[in-house]
Amino acid sequence: MSRRQIEITPDLMLRAYRAGLFPMAEARGSARLYWLDPEMRGVLPLDGFHLPRRLARTVLNGEFEVSCDTDFPAAIGMCAAPAPGREETWINTEIEALFIALHHMGHAHSIEVREGGRLVGGLYGVTIGGVFFGESMFSRVRDASKVALVHLVARLRLMGFSLLDTQFITGHLAQFGTLEIPRAAYKALLAEAVEQPPAWDAAPDPERLRAEIRALRSPAPEGASSAPTPSDSR
């Protein structure tokens, strides 16, 4: 007798995220999802983000048009699509459909980066309380995904978020200050952050947003720690 499979619904996804789990498939064509709970978790401290000077100029010079939640299906579709150096993906069709459902529920969001009207970069993730669970990002031209990440961090700071979960740490994320922390420390942070009132704003005041991006170039206050403590782009 085969083991009964539990139906994965958007509500089950939210409960799993609150517990520190997240889903992945082995490949785009895979029909099975796996729940992951890594021993070491990637987090990007919002008060310890490192914004290089050249990238700050790129973000602020108007070369790219950046928006939020204007085309979530396109953003996750681009994350799932093959790209040079990443011919396979962990985002199968079930994951794609579940996240689109979470988007309609107000729990999944995207940052889109366009050049000349064409979608060239972006990212998406899940929000619960004061946590942004980063899922995936894509780039079709230089710096496009980095611009999306800078905008995400600036927006999360403006909205009072306390935890940016990157799930894993990569070389790409490490350059911005991403850290690895033990599972127990992550779950202590998570337990506090998910209880914050939700504060997602898809269209913050443009001048406040630009000011917050400029503030990312400022050094952290004296005595502040870049590592998150209880009271972060795979």
pLDDT tens for 104-131 read 999 999 999 999 999 999 999 999 999 9
The answer to whether the beta carbons of residues 35 and 21 sit under 8 Å apart is yes
When pLDDT is cut at 50, 70 and 90, the band that residue 34 belongs to is: confident
pLDDT, mean over the chain: 88
The percentage of the chain sitting over the pLDDT mark of 90, rounded to a whole number, equals 74
Domains of the chain: 10-215 (3.40.630.70)
pTM over 0.85: yes
Measured between alpha carbons, how far is 148 from 232 in angstroms, rounded to an integer? Answer: 15
Give the Cβ contact number of residue 29 at 10 Å. 10
pLDDT at 82: 76
CA distance 224 to 45: 11
- Out of 84-88, 155-159, 195-199, the most confident range is 155-159
